[in-house]
Structure 1
Amino acid sequence: MAPKGNNWNATDKAACSQLQAQLATCWQAIDCFDRAPRQILVVPSLSLDQEELAKVEGVHHYEERLLFALLHLRNPNTSLIYVTSQPLHPSIVDYYLELLPGIPSSHAQKRLRLFSTYDGSQRPLTEKILGRPRLIERIRHCLSPQEAYMVCYNSTDWEQRLALALNIPLMALPPTLLELGTKAGSREIFAACGVPHPEGSGLYQAPQDLARAAAQLWERQPGLKRIVIKLNEGFSGEGNALLMLEPLAGVAPGMASHHDRVNAVLKALMNMRFQYVHETWQHFSRKIGELGAIAEAFIEGDIKRSPSVQGHINPFGDVEILSTHDQILGGPDGQIFLGCRFPADQAYRMELQEMGLRVGEILAQRGALERYSVDFIAVKSGQCWELNAIEINLRKGGTTHPFMALQLLTNGRYNLKDGQFYTPQGQPKYYRASDNLQKDQYRGLLPDDLMDIIMVEQLHFNSIAGTGAAFHLMGCLSEHGKLGVTCIGNTPEEAEQIYERVVTVLDRETS
């Protein structure tokens, strides 16, 4: 389990704040051409609850998702240090360097340093680094403290301790604010900024209390068909379970006493529909005790989508909306993140931006920093869409690296006026992305095999046409048959066609 951010003493906090003040001079926005000397340490550690993280197949390869941070090497005086648990395959590194527009890969290669802990155990990467003082010393020798800062996937005490050990600022959320990105914390932020969200409960760590809260929620909304039980620190929907109320019709509000209803709900919790297919009540109830859980009204709808908005809070406290997406979900009840389409539907895109900005401003007032995203449920009612916010992610997530790929490959910008992304020539761009292009028949494909297929079938991104596919999670392919891809087109239809062609080719080559 990752540290919660509550073990930080006053001296550590003061030292981190002093270092963080340096971000005002050493940090630069990713879409700016920067000639000044910069050093960026990328530590893509998934410092999350490791039991929950283990539900994601091949998750130890997810450290590769931030390799799109190599786009910083477009700036000729920027150097980048990237640390992983296991060494990266040389073909994977070469692939990303070749994607860099306007910079010879050899020039970028000289400004890139790779380090590895050579440790494949199920522990967060940052914890592994902290246990290797000689590795820390090697990294420190590569850094100029006045020019350097550190970025990460998500921030905990471990990331702050590493930044302190290296004497460089961390461009990330202070760990004392981690609660703002939990399920319960998200609900508190939504209420504070007036963003609509489903009715729900507070945080509970005992099944009996959670059953009582779920029964009270049902009493407040007698028409509910389902209630979602969410682990407070679950992610990608894997920590969710559905409490089905139809089998409990005999104890529905108005049909039985509150006491009987609570007891019936408590028994029903043991037979919930878990979104993680291998989940059990024994394990889930233990995680309730460790992490806490909330009960939330399940939003029904015949036509329903799951859009999101992604924002950024810079060191000066300014909030910027980066992108909107329509998420692609799967799993037993469509709650597990599989991929996304950019941008979100025009019908609610601007509303997403406005709500995302309100959330970001509250987060900035609380002291949050760097990336955040807000997930919504959109239900069509007549000709309109009703939006409800369901959670905040205070970390880089599944929509972060596809958008970074778009920035890397096109050198374009997001336009707040219409929520679209345009190249310098004014061409709008769209993409279809996934972390879960996975089939058993893909197992055994090595990164070099994938490179051969990409070249022979011309699946690579064509910089002249400005369309094509960019791959990630390539290290996950051989063992798990799992691959990530961002397919960029000049129309939404073209992006989908490129994605389908990638799937067709891989299926044919592995059949």
Structure 2
Amino acid sequence: MQTLHFSSSEQAEQFRQLQARLRDSWLEIDQFDRSDYDILVVPSLSLDQRELTKIQGVHYYEERLLFSLIRLRNPRARLVYVSSQPLHPSIVDYYLHLLPGIPFSHARERLLLLSPYDASDKPLTQKILERPRLIERMRQAIRPQKSYMICFNSTALERDLSVQLDIPLFAVDPDLLYWGTKGGSRQIFAECDVPHPDGSGTVWNGQDLAVASADLWERQPSLKRMVVKLNEGFSGEGNALLDLKPLQSINPQSHTERAAILHQRFENLSFQAKNENWTNFSNRIPEIGAIVEAFVEGEQKRSPSVQGRIAPSGEVEIVSTHDQILGGPDGQVFLGCTFPADEAYRLQLQEIGLRIGKNLAAKGALERFAVDFLAIPEGDRWDLQAIEINLRKGGTTHPLMTLQFLTNGRYDLSTGLFYSQQGRPKYYMASDNLQKERYRGLLPDDLMDIMAHHQLHFDRCTETGTVFHLMGCLSEFGKLGLTCIGNSPQQAEDIYNQVVNALDQETQAAVQQAADSSSPGIPISWRKQG
């Protein structure tokens, strides 16, 4: 067993050579049904751990990439899945039984599950790198010239593991991650002439943030609210709202006085994350930076997004659009999504997404990207304002990939719709945040029993029903993820509501023992709220 050590320059050069290997085999990699490849899945959330701890049950989010097991429908593919803690056997069996046309035993023989048995708050990739023997087991399980690695998000940790294993990482080079930050996103929007809210570049301390806020306020004296954002955030948890209405009667005599007033007002920020405060928030600014933006007002505003993929060849492909479902104190926390986005603006989203994708490709970016927007009605049209770019797999990635692998369908750019092999348009409603206190204690096996009894599981014949994720999170936190697939938007929403009603009905006894005090996930009547 040998642990390899590289200088930073040597590692960067070897990583570039590994990425170049992807360009030569891209067509094979893209055709999973015919490829003979080993796929290493490392679903590490290599993000700021202090921000991640604000999300309840976040250590179970490694399960979100379990949709990758559906790639085993290719009888020639082999897959290695690594998780911090061993996965519940019922959860693994659940995904393998979804495979169309492949015997369970055949798929199971081509799947290797590995774990460092480490429940600490460190990123999974770091845990792997700290265990040379585990790396050696991974090295022995894959063929270097016939394999590649996928991850949730790419950092120097994933690059290091890629080099250690001598296999390509199908993800963005960590040196380009700036373009996925809040400040980097705003720079690309400006370069692409994409409308986005007025705001600042990246600042690195509270005083400069106050100065940038004062500049914004002077440009827009009638502004009611501002959004202060940490440069790196997850699901909106790094955002805070600054209410300017209590300051409207104040008439600062100078820019310096205005900045001082705002700096003092930061103590009254409204944070999206629970138990957050200005002291903790401001301590993060020198480490990762922050921006300030004008808050886009509007009672009927929506939050759509567009997703794309950049091939190693540089080709940009738009793969989906969604309407995001947001919650939290000020409606900035990601709860779920519906596919596709509203037809009133989905084609416009595609056009802007393609423009941004080409800009990212020219900078050398690779694989998944997503762009979030705010949509505000203006008469008979919608005004789209770009908010941020994500250079990672996000909350809209696994529902779409699940739909694609289950139906073997295709996304049509001319309509912005997804069609099954039978030519039927498919729709879904998905969430990572169906959470109720009464669901605590339910095991994955219990969930399967409930869904089978109510006939809400995914039906291969109709290609409708529900596919679950985050099942490991259910017993401890009463939290569950799900993708409800239908042949119309209404059917997808109806299936979601049926799942909620079935779980509520089956857990009715728990209500008598404890108050239901947690988030109910997506409101059942969310569409009617505009």
Q: Does the TM-score normalized on the shorter chain lie above 0.5?
A: yes
Who is 1:271 aligned against?
A: 268
Paired with 1:482 and 1:27, the residues of 2 have a C-alpha distance of 37
Who is 1:94 aligned against?
A: 93
Output aligned runs, 1:325-474, within 5 Å.
325-474=322-471
Who is 2:293 aligned against?
A: 296
Q: CA shift at 1:337, angstroms?
A: 0.1
Who is 1:183 aligned against?
A: 182
Q: CA shift at 1:33, angstroms?
A: 5.0
| Superposed CA offset, 1:136-177 (max 9, x none) | 000100111110000000001110110111110111111111
Matched residue type, 1:188: Q
Gaps of 5+ in 1: 1-6
Output aligned runs, 1:111-126, within 5 Å.
111-126=110-125
* Maintained 8 Å contact 1:229/1:243: yes
* Maintained 8 Å contact 1:251/1:257: no
Paired with 1:105 and 1:369, the residues of 2 have a C-alpha distance of 33
Output aligned runs, 1:176-325, within 5 Å.
176-251=175-250, 256-325=253-322
| Superposed CA offset, 1:51-93 (max 9, x none) | 0011111000000000001121121111110000000000000
Q: Tell me the SS of whatever aligns to 2:268.
A: coil
Paired with 1:67 and 1:256, the residues of 2 have a C-alpha distance of 58
Paired with 2:41 and 2:267, the residues of 1 have a C-alpha distance of 42
Give yes or no for the alignment of 1:46 onto 2:45: yes
**Taking structure 1 as reference, are residues 29 and 371 closer, same or farther at Cα in structure 2, changes over 3 Å only?**
farther
Which residue of 496, 499, 502 corresponds with 2:493?
496
* Maintained 8 Å contact 1:28/1:34: no
Paired with 1:201 and 1:345, the residues of 2 have a C-alpha distance of 30
Give yes or no for the alignment of 1:141 onto 2:146: no
Who is 1:82 aligned against?
A: 81
Moved more, 287-296 or 468-477: 287-296
| Superposed CA offset, 1:15-36 (max 9, x none) | 0111112113444577735323
Report the identity percentage. 64
**Taking structure 1 as reference, are residues 71 and 207 closer, same or farther at Cα in structure 2, changes over 3 Å only?**
same
Q: CA shift at 1:250, angstroms?
A: 2.8
Who is 1:152 aligned against?
A: 151
Gaps of 5+ in 2: 1-5, 509-530
Matched residue type, 2:418: F
- Aligned Cα RMSD in Å? 1.3
Q: CA shift at 1:100, angstroms?
A: 1.0
Paired with 1:20 and 1:272, the residues of 2 have a C-alpha distance of 43
* Maintained 8 Å contact 2:172/2:366: yes
Matched residue type, 2:501: T
Output aligned runs, 1:1-12, within 5 Å.
9-12=8-11
Matched residue type, 1:385: W
* Maintained 8 Å contact 2:67/2:398: yes
| Superposed CA offset, 1:409-439 (max 9, x none) | 2111100001000011110000000000000
Matched residue type, 1:176: D
| Superposed CA offset, 1:151-207 (max 9, x none) | 000001110110111110111111111111000000011111111111110111111
Paired with 2:502 and 2:157, the residues of 1 have a C-alpha distance of 42
Q: Tell me the SS of whatever aligns to 1:250.
A: coil
Which residue of 479, 483, 497 corresponds with 2:480?
483
How many residues are treated as equivalent by the alignment?
A: 503
* Maintained 8 Å contact 1:183/1:294: yes
Q: What TM-score results when the alignment is normalised by the length of structure 2?
A: 0.93
Who is 2:60 aligned against?
A: 61
Who is 1:4 aligned against?
A: none
Q: Tell me the SS of whatever aligns to 2:308.
A: strand
Who is 2:103 aligned against?
A: 104
* Maintained 8 Å contact 2:407/2:420: yes
